[in-house]
């Protein structure tokens, strides 16, 4: 989903493991919605992948997060 908003090659999430090789997921770059203002609604029920996508959109394309603290 994030690839529809984040340009190709930009970092979406990285994972560090103690016993496995670290992983990085980058955008495929479909960018159907590039250069549009983005607002992401979050609340206490926003968790896991929802938090990851919200933060990636905020960091990579300047999306505004609106709401309350996430899970």
Q: For residue 9, count CB atoms less than 10 angstroms from its CB and return exposed for 0-12, middle for 13-18, buried for 19 or more.
A: exposed
What pLDDT is attached to residue 28?
95
What pLDDT is attached to residue 14?
95
**Percentage of the chain exceeding pLDDT 90:** 89
d(CA 36, CA 21): 36
What pLDDT is attached to residue 34?
80
Strands 64-67 and 39-42: parallel
pTM for the whole thing? 0.87
| Structure confidence by residue, pLDDT tens digits, 11-42 | 999 999 999 999 999 999 987 888 889 999 99
């Amino acid at each position: 989903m994030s690839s529809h908003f984040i340009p190709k090659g930009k970092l979406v999430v990285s994972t560090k493991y103690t016993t496995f090789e670290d992983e990085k997921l980058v955008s495929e770059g479909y960018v159907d919605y590039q250069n549009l203002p983005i607002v992401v609604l979050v609340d206490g029920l926003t968790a896991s992948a929802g938090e990851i996508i919200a933060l990636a959109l905020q960091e990579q394309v300047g999306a505004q997060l609106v709401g309350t603290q996430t899970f």
